[in-house]
Amino acid sequence: MTNDVGLDARLKRIEEIVASLDSDTLDLDEALALFEEGVAHLGHARQMLSRTELRVEELIGSEGDTGDMRVADDGGEGEAGDG
Amino acid sequence: MTDHVPDLFTDGVPSRGGVDRPAETDRPPPPRVWTVRQVNRASRLLLEESLPRLWVGGEVTNFRRQRSGHCYFTLKDEAAQLRCVMFRREASRLPADPGEGMKLRVFGGLTLYEARGVFQLIVSKLETEREGGMWKLAFDRLRARLDAEGLTDPGRKRRLPAFPATVGIVTSPTGAALRDIVAVIARRAPWLRVLVRGTRVQGVGAGDEIAAAVSALAEVRGVDVIIVARGGGSIEDLWGFNEEAVARAVALSPVPVVSGVGHETDVTICDLVADLRAATPSAAAETVAPDRQWVGKRLDGLSRRLGRGLAGQVRSRRWWLDQLGDSLFRRGRRRVQASRDRMDAAGLRMAAAARSRIRREAGRLSEAAAALDALSPLSTLARGYSVPLDHDGRLLRRAEDFPRGRGFRLRVVDGYVPCAVTGRPLSAAIRAAEQTTGDDRDQ
């Protein structure tokens, strides 16, 4: 699995690995390989978690095109505006 | 169109100001004849000018919405009927058509429809006396229909993804709701991708826009969950979220939809059909974005479990070895034990054999002792025999061992008796010899 794998898929894979290590009788080599794969996923997941900037995009038109969107973090209009 | 009045009636027709012409003859003046139009016009003006706009209460009957958008109905009570019209502009704001027999109060002005001479009320506001009004009525009707179709069924609700990658948002691009949502996601899960489809969120047509936005986001690959949101407002402001188009789009969305419309107390059709209803836009964001710290803890937990899993694999091997060792040991011990048991058994057998042998030997011994006893001189002595012994203890057995004058001891059963030979001993041989001689001599 590469870097653009989602957190969900990574966590699921780690769960699988843990389950396998917990219950199956594996070759020691196999067990080590699984362990290393799990550790790599954990590393990527932690890296993902350390991101600080939220990416906000806007869906434009009907072709699924997107563009970056700036959302003001405070504004003149409150809830009384257009919501 | 100008007034066309037949000649016959030209005389006596009141002028527009209603000022009478002076009579030209002494014939009685012909009656003043009004045109229908004049009458209706005059009546209309009279009605409109003399009665203010007012609220009228009654029961509705024959409510019809024309293709033009105008609505016609009759308001009645036990004694009277009043024809009413609600023109398109006002009627389009009506969330629902009133049902037959429903008690209404309407606000409007009385007038006369000149073309048909019909007296009617031009209605600008229409309210029901039911609690919640027409909005509630529309809401309840749509809800009943959606309920019947099963679209609000709790069993239809899908679980939200625990770890979404992309979150779609349908809301006003400039509203506070979007700012609130973005702030929550940025705080909790900044690794998420947020994809916004901006829409109008109130006013006529807002419902269709919201519905289209939900469908558009649902089409985008990678969108895991959609938030439909709007800040608080009046029931009229929120009406777009109560429209059927929104309900259908939300129900048809292939990904779960979270509704965060208005405040805690506002419940919309969108809320009911959505997979999850959040009280506010911020709350909607919280249900969708996993908390960073929580995810971190989860990763820590997985990390520990991973380590334990591997250790377990190693341990299970060691355990297996231990088991193997144990079983070998047990087997070995069993063999030793078997030998020992065999030895013990042999020992026991030997001891038994020895004991029986000893018993047997002892028996023989006592037999021998008895035999020995029988052979003992003491028992012979006890029977009355005695044994002569010289002073050295030698047994004296033959007659020649007893020369005249010899001292000796006689062993008897209970002691010794000193003795001496006083005569000439006579052995059997001597006696025999003497007998032979005697015989010879006697012969």
Least confident of B119-133, B300-314, B321-335: B321-335
Beta carbons within 10 angstroms of residue B271's beta carbon: 22
The answer to whether the CB of A83 falls within 8 A of the CB of B241 is no
Convert the pLDDT of each residue in B233-253 to its tens digit: 888 888 889 999 999 999 999
**Average pLDDT of chain B to the nearest whole number:** 83
Distances from the Cα of A24 to the Cα of A16, B302, B309, angstroms = 11, 17, 10
Q: pLDDT tier at B117 (50, 70, 90 boundaries)?
A: very high
CA distance B239 to B200: 12
Domain ranges within chain A, ordered by starting residue: 7-68
Residues 6+ apart with CB under 8 A from B63: B71, B72, B73, B97, B98, B99, B100
Helix B281-288, helix B176-188: angle, nearest 10: 30
Which of A7, A62, A64 has its CB closest to that of B163?
A: A7
Domains of chain B: 7-129 (2.40.50.140), 151-289 (3.40.50.10550), 387-442 (no CATH)
Distances from the Cα of B272 to the Cα of B26, B238, B275, B288, angstroms = 84, 14, 8, 18
- Minimal C-alpha gap between B105 and chain A (Å): 30
pLDDT given for residue A79 in this prediction: 42
Beta carbons within 10 angstroms of residue B430's beta carbon: 13
Average pLDDT in the B122-149 region? 88
Convert the pLDDT of each residue in B344-395 to its tens digit: 777 677 667 666 766 666 666 566 555 555 556 666 777 777 888 888 888 8
pLDDT given for residue B436 in this prediction: 62
Residues 6+ apart with CB under 8 A from B184: B282, B285, B286, B289
Q: Do B292 and A72 touch (CB under 8 A)?
A: no
Which of A28, A46, A71 has its CB closest to that of B178?
A: A71
Tokens of B194: 């947020």
- Minimal C-alpha gap between A3 and chain B (Å): 13
Helix B244-252, helix B206-219: angle, nearest 10: 10
CA distance A2 to A10: 10
Average pLDDT in the B204-212 region? 90
CA distance B162 to B225: 10
Alpha carbon of residue A83 to chain centroid = 30
pLDDT given for residue B183 in this prediction: 93
Least confident of B173-187, B198-212, B359-373, B403-417: B359-373
Q: pLDDT tier at B171 (50, 70, 90 boundaries)?
A: very high
Nearest CA in chain A to B200: A82
pLDDT given for residue B179 in this prediction: 94
Main-chain phi, psi angles of B426, to 5 degrees = -130, 105
Least confident of B52-56, B320-324, B393-397: B320-324
Average pLDDT in the B419-427 region? 81
**Average pLDDT of chain A to the nearest whole number:** 78
pLDDT given for residue B10 in this prediction: 45
Q: Is the pLDDT of residue B332 over 70?
A: yes
Tokens of B276: 């999850």
- What is the per-residue DSSP string for B34-92? --HHHHHHHHHHHHHHHS--EEEEEEEEEEEE-TTS-EEEEEE-SS-EEEEEE-HHHHT
Least confident of B78-92, B301-315, B367-381, B418-432: B367-381
Beta carbons within 10 angstroms of residue B235's beta carbon: 17
Q: Which residue from B255, B164, B167, B159 is spatially nearest to A11, judged by alpha carbons?
A: B164
Length of chain B: 443
Contact list in A for residue B193 (CB cut-off 8 A) is 55, 57
Nearest CA in chain A to B184: A54
pLDDT given for residue B39 in this prediction: 92
User: Half-sphere exposure of B133 toward its Cβ, with a 13 Å CA cutoff?
Assistant: 10
Average pLDDT in the B392-414 region? 84
pLDDT given for residue B246 in this prediction: 94
CA distance B64 to B83: 12
Q: pLDDT tier at A83 (50, 70, 90 boundaries)?
A: very low
The answer to whether the CB of B96 falls within 8 A of the CB of B132 is no
* ipTM tops the 0.85 cut: no
CA distance A74 to A53: 17
Q: Is the pLDDT of residue A80 over 70?
A: no
Q: pLDDT tier at B4 (50, 70, 90 boundaries)?
A: very low
Q: Is the pLDDT of residue B195 over 70?
A: yes
Distances from the Cα of B125 to the Cα of B98, B140, B259, B362, angstroms = 13, 20, 31, 138
pLDDT given for residue A29 in this prediction: 80
Any CB–CB contact under 8 A between A5 and chain B?
Answer: no
| Interfacial A residues in 10-39 facing B (CB < 8 Å) | 11, 14-15, 17-18, 20-22, 25-26, 28, 31-32, 35, 38-39
Residues 6+ apart with CB under 8 A from B176: A75, A77, A78, A79, A81, A83, B231, B281
Least confident of B190-204, B291-305, B332-346, B408-422: B332-346
CA distance B53 to B55: 7
Which of A59, A74, A82 has its CB closest to that of B217?
A: A59
pLDDT given for residue B411 in this prediction: 83
The answer to whether the CB of B95 falls within 8 A of the CB of B137 is yes
Q: Do B196 and A58 touch (CB under 8 A)?
A: yes
Counting DSSP H helices and E strands in chain A, the numbers are 2, 2
Strand B166-171 versus strand B81-86 pairing type? unpaired
CA distance B76 to B56: 10
Q: Is the pLDDT of residue B14 over 80?
A: no
What element of type H or E holds B440? Answer: helix B428-442
Average pLDDT in the B314-339 region? 73
CA distance B242 to B391: 156
Convert the pLDDT of each residue in B175-186 to its tens digit: 999 999 999 999
pLDDT given for residue B430 in this prediction: 64
Which of B179, B193, B197 has its CB closest to that of A72?
A: B179
Distances from the Cα of B105 to the Cα of A5, B76, B77, B84, B400, angstroms = 61, 11, 12, 12, 181
pLDDT given for residue B368 in this prediction: 59
- Minimal C-alpha gap between A40 and chain B (Å): 11
Q: Is the pLDDT of residue A76 over 50?
A: no
pLDDT given for residue B252 in this prediction: 93
Output B400 or B159, whichever has higher pLDDT.
Answer: B159
Q: Percentage of chain B with pLDDT > 90?
A: 45
Average pLDDT in the A41-70 region? 85
CA distance B30 to B45: 26
CA distance B128 to A69: 44
Q: Is the pLDDT of residue A3 over 80?
A: no
